[in-house]
Structure 1
Amino acid sequence: MKATYKKHILNFKRPSGTSRGTLRTKETWFLILEDKGKYGVGECGLFRGLSYDDVPGYEEKLKWVSENITLSLQQLLNELKHFPSIQFGLEQAFLSLNADHPYKLFQTPFVNAYKPITINGLIWMGDIDFMYEQIQQKLNEGFFCIKMKIGAVDFDKEIALLQSIRNRFDKDEIELRVDANGAFSTVEALDKLRTLSTLDLHSIEQPIKVGQWPLLKDLCARTPLPIALDEELIGVLDVTRKEELLQMVQPQYIILKPSLVGGIKGSQEWISIAEKYNIGWWVTSALESNIGLNAIAQWTSSLPINLPQGLGTGALFTNNIDSPLEVKDGGLYYSPITEWDENLIENLCT
């Protein structure tokens, strides 16, 4: 068996705003396996400024993987404990190599029967007119669940924007989620949650900065609006530590980004613990190309999901990998008539 890797820079169609800044490009890496003429591919979705493995030596670790690919998958994953995005890329690559079709990793109705995964429509930060324009577009595209990033512009204006949606659609018609990306101070967080709760929102992601477990525990106990932990999960590697977090904080939801929390194995650990404590969950992509998004979506489709997932990011880039994935009517589909480029993996190797 041989392994190679290749860097790829994804370019946003238009700059996308978050409370951490504006994104224009997204770095990612492809890991390609070859064994007896068969190929497999996975995506190591490094997210600069957010990933736990955004550290010096990332490419050197990929080189180590390629030089030691004959070790067992479990041995490799153990060695990659501090590189969750490479763990996930490796899991994908082995699934791809061992599958009958290199991009059909899980045999589910999503892949085989054109059954959609319900997803949320993502609204990026910007001026109020731009955000309202995005909302109108998502509503026109048939989304009934909309997720809006907040915390970078005037809070009162954000509230007014959300209120304008609620004036037109009640919670049974449009589900609204917001994502603060840790933008609220601990002093103001509870008051802001109370204000937001008057708008019949589904939940808020990561209201305060990570690492403040006692304060987060108090906030989750007192909040009138369900809280979902997102960035809080990043870098919590050991199962014991994962359980300590969820047992102590008792959030209403957790959000799983496989590229950031150790791939399928790491995500399954979080799910098992969350269900033990009656904590809800959903899966979200982290700006991967369509290779990584495809793997996340297919894995997600194998789970007992009952909430809209966060898997609608494939159309953000000008130079994404062409794929059968398509978004319509508020769902992600795997098209039965669109094929992957049959030379894609070989092209990635060159």
Structure 2
Amino acid sequence: MTRASLRPFALELARPLDTARGPIREREGYVVSVAPDETESASATGIGEATPLSGWTESLSACDAALRDAGADERLASDPLSRLDPRETPAARHGLALALADAAARDAERSLSAELAADRDLPSPSETVSVNATIGDGDPTATAAAASRAVDEGFDCLKVKVGARSVDADAARLRAVRDAVGDAAALRADANGAWDRETAREALDRFAPLDLAYVEQPLPPADLDGAGRLRADAPVPIALDESLADHDLDAVLDARAADVIVVKPMAFGGPDRALSAAVRARAAGVDAVVTTTIDGVVARTAAVHVAAAIPDVSPCGLATGSLLEDDLAPDPCPVADGTVAVPSGPGLAGGAFDGLR
């Protein structure tokens, strides 16, 4: 594999998305393409996506510089992935690693998830992946109505945003959801790092009777010690998401700070590293779910393959395509009845993305 090219893009969000690290209004990045020279198999082509997100990955300019240093937009350097630091420039590494993995899977005539699973001696990947619906920060009536609509659409796992209101208000909202949907759906709550230690403890105690699957990121990302102390006797399981941008996986596992980790392939530096992180976490007794950094369809499809390669994966946060006003290409794995079907063609999705090269 010797030739590579970059295609810049910008995708507007349907509406600004508020996060713990500030609002997201647009996603900019690069489609990364790799192709063989004339002496290699014509099928050994691949597509990747590098879409950096401030606070999670490097900047757009750093991503561009790293990709070009590895030989993208010309002839690839020898062992190009070794030139991309997954901690310093994870989005750049994701784009190139995905393109190379897509090419390898297409050349082997198997799906990306099958390629990833085979590399790690994992069982055959799933054909479908369950996904959660995300319920925003409305009042109890609006929150319960949104949850009921999601269940009617086939979702059996709901993630409710909390932390912007008082603990009393959030407890009332979650109670309204539980009353509305009963046991038809698992409930998760996502605080996006909004609470201090005292407030987080109060919230977990108040939420405990509601049978939550977990509370995600109850403390600020930097407070790993606090997360470990909170989890030690928490009445509700703890998931960490943003903390994995501030701390490496070993630190999170050593601190015993999570029952679940949320794996974003773009932030981990590629589908290969994301799957390896999930496997390592599960070996340590920590579950793993997969989500995105509000990526374009190429990276979202890769995240679906990563999730499919995790045996018996829990519902994942992959229903994010609707957050974009437009996209790079039609989605080969749209959400239907709370699940996505994993593309079975060679590589990412057969030739679905060939027009992006």
User: TM-score w.r.t. structure 2 length?
Assistant: 0.83
Compute the displacement of 1:280 (Å): 1.5
Identity %: 25
Alignment of 1:1-350 (within 5 A): 1-36=2-37, 39-48=45-54, 50-54=55-59, 57-65=62-70, 66=72, 69-77=76-84, 79-100=85-106, 104-107=111-114, 115-125=127-137, 131-170=143-182, 172-237=183-248, 242-320=249-327, 321-334=329-342, 344-346=353-355, 348-349=356-357
Q: Which amino acid aligns with 1:6?
A: R
CA distance in structure 2 between the aligned counterparts of 1:161 and 1:244, rounded to whole angstroms = 34
- Distance in 2, matches of 1:21 and 1:132, equals 26
Does the CA contact (< 8 Å) of 1:290 and 1:325 recur in 2?
no
CA contact (8 A) 2:4 2:34 kept: yes
Report the CA distance between 1:114 and its aligned residue.
9.3
Alignment gaps of 5+ in structure 2: 116-123
1:335–1:271: structure 2 CA closer, same or farther, 3 Å change rule?
Answer: closer
- Structure 1 residues 344 and 244, CA gap change in structure 2 (3 angstroms): closer
Letter paired with 2:291: T
Q: Partners of 1:269 and 1:107 in 2: how far apart?
A: 14
Distance 2:125 2:229 in 1: 45
SS at match of 2:326: coil
Whole-angstrom distance in 2 between the partners of 1:325 and 1:153: 35
Shift of 1:261: 1.8
Of 36-45 and 68-77, deviating more is 68-77
Q: Which whole-Å deviations, capped at 9, do the CAs of 1:235-262 have from their partners, x for residues lacking one?
A: 445xxxx334312234211111111122
What's the CA shift for 1:96?
A: 1.9
Partner SS state of residue 249, structure 1: coil
Q: Mark the CA change 1:272 to 1:99 in structure 2 (over 3 Å): closer, same or farther.
A: closer
What is the DSSP-based 3-state SS (H/G/I as helix, E as strand, rest coil) of the residue aligned with 1:28? strand
SS, match of residue 309 in structure 1? coil
CA-CA distance at 1:39 after TM superposition: 3.2
Alpha carbons of structure 1 residues 253 and 139: separation in structure 2 relative to 1, 3 Å: same
Displacement after TM superposition at 1:297 (Å) = 0.7
Cα deviation for residue 27 of structure 1 reads 2.4
Q: CA RMSD in A?
A: 3.1
Query: By how many angstroms is 1:266 displaced?
Result: 2.8
Preserved CA contact (<8 Å) 1:220 1:250: yes
Deviation of 1:335 after TM superposition, in Å, equals 6.7
Contact 1:258–1:285 (8 Å) recurs in 2: yes
Which SS does the other structure have where 1:30 is aligned? Answer: strand
Q: Secondary structure at the match of 1:216?
A: helix
Q: 1:323 to 1:220 in 2, by over 3 A?
A: same
Provide the C-alpha distance between the structure 2 equivalents of 1:218 and 1:113, rounded to a whole number of angstroms: 36
Q: Deviation of residue 276 (structure 1)?
A: 3.5
Normalising by structure 1, we get a TM-score of 0.85
Give the gaps of 5 or more residues in structure 1. none
**How far 1:177 sits from its partner (Å)?**
0.5
Question: What is the SS of the residue equivalent to 1:322?
Answer: coil
Q: What per-residue deviation string (whole Å, max 9, x for no partner) do you get for residues 299-326 of structure 1? A: 2212212411111112221211212212
3-state SS of 2:334 partner:
strand
CA distance in 1: counterparts of 2:146 and 2:245, whole angstroms: 29
Instruction: Give, in angstroms, the shift of residue 225 of structure 1.
Output: 0.8
The SS at the match of 1:100 is helix
Aligned length: 338
